[in-house]
Amino acid sequence: MSTTSSTPPIPNLTNVTRDNDFWFDDGNVVIITTNLRTYSNLCPTAFRIHRSVLARHVRAPEDLLLADLHIGDPLTDTMDGCPMFRLPDSSHDFRCVLHAIYDGPNYSEAGKPLPFSTAAALVRLGHKYDIDSARDLGMKRLDSVFGKCSTWNLAINRSAPVSERSWSTEVLSLRRKDPIIAVNLFRTINAQDKLLAALYMCTELDNDDLLTGTTRVDGLAEKLSANDLARCLDARDRLAARCTTYIVDTLTLPSRTDCRKKKTCDQRLKEIKPLMLTQERHQSFGATRCGIVGPIYPQWSQDTKLCETCRVFLSDRELDFQKTLWRALPSIMDMTGVEWDNLFSGTYTSKMWKASHMLFYNFYVS
């Protein structure tokens, strides 16, 4: 495990609790998991399961898997006649994997989003022990939030103030500070594009949250590494600088050359300018913290006081700006080399980009 998480303690086997869901009378192997809560008297949990079922889902040969699970001194004791193996992972994570193995992909309640903690557990242990079925199931859910197009869509279509908004989707629910856990998970499994998305999400957290970190459902404390913390703070400054430039540029824009209601549109632009500085993003972050990707003045396209030409131009211009920010995320996050370039392929062509900049040019030479 990386230095971002505290080291799990070796399980104490003096008191063991049998798991309610996974204690089969005909099971032939007992797995003892670890209580990761630092200040807790909770006992380690024992799972009595079937060797053959476990072996069916694991790519590693059965004996190798069980040898891998075996940490510290070999356990000579048995429980109910079954050989015992100790696992350095939490009962929460192992239980999630057993649900995936025994119940299949439909074990989560139909129509309900899977908690991030469950999806992360499936990917964490699925990766660690080569259990493809568990890892694929968890990764599919994580993709709905951390896939590079998913994160962009969630960011750009946000409607609630940043401080009240979550990244949850219909298939995955997240707690506010889960992106911190996601960063450490994606570092462990080396998923670079998802890591970039998770790091971006962390830049939207308050400094206090970034510094104190969070606690996983299984009790393990997680923080960003010092490098990733600095990366997020630096990225936020860079994003804020770009946003400020965009806002200042917008504040100095005259109406378009082909505007047919120049007087009305100029007057309306004058009224809108102060609103750009008092949007919800600024109220929730404070005026000096505008380093986010998302609507700056979302009302462009509905502002009927502007003529249609100006309305379309200004709303397209803002979307173009946000897309430019998103495309530049690898350099903003100081992670150049991450494959990210084809994000808008199909929906955002160079022709469209050029057209928007010609409009921008026309705007300025009026």
User: Binding Zn ion by CB under 5 A: which of 123, 265, 332, 359?
Assistant: 265
Report the length, in residues, of the chain. Answer: 366
User: Binding Zn ion by CB under 5 A: which of 182, 217, 243, 307?
Assistant: 307
Question: Min. distance of Cβ 354 from Zn ion in angstroms?
Answer: 22
What beta strand segments (E) does 219-281 contain?
221-222
Q: Which listed range, 94-102, 126-134, 175-183, 259-267, lies at the site for Zn ion (CB under 5 A)?
A: 259-267
User: Binding Zn ion by CB under 5 A: which of 259, 290, 292, 332?
Assistant: 259
CA distance 364 to 359: 9
Q: Does 272 bind Zn ion (CB under 5 A)?
A: no
Question: Min. distance of Cβ 271 from Zn ion in angstroms?
Answer: 14
CA atoms within 13 A on the CB side of 18: 12
CA distance 141 to 285: 29
Residues 73-132 that bind Zn ion (CB under 5 A): none
Residue indicated by tokens 């430039």: 245
- SS3 percent helix, strand, coil of the chain, rounded to 5, is 55, 10, 35
Query: Residue 136 or 316: which CB sits closer to Zn ion?
Result: 316
Q: Which listed range, 16-24, 47-55, 205-213, 256-264, lies at the site for Zn ion (CB under 5 A)?
A: 256-264
Question: Min. distance of Cβ 268 from Zn ion in angstroms?
Answer: 8
CA distance 329 to 235: 9
Q: Looking at this protein, which amino acid is placed at residue 250?
A: T
Question: 243 has which bridge partners?
Answer: none
User: Binding Zn ion by CB under 5 A: which of 310, 325, 329, 333?
Assistant: 310
Query: Residue 181 or 314: which CB sits closer to Zn ion?
Result: 314
Which residues of this chain interact with Zn ion, rule CB under 5 A?
Answer: 259, 265, 307, 310
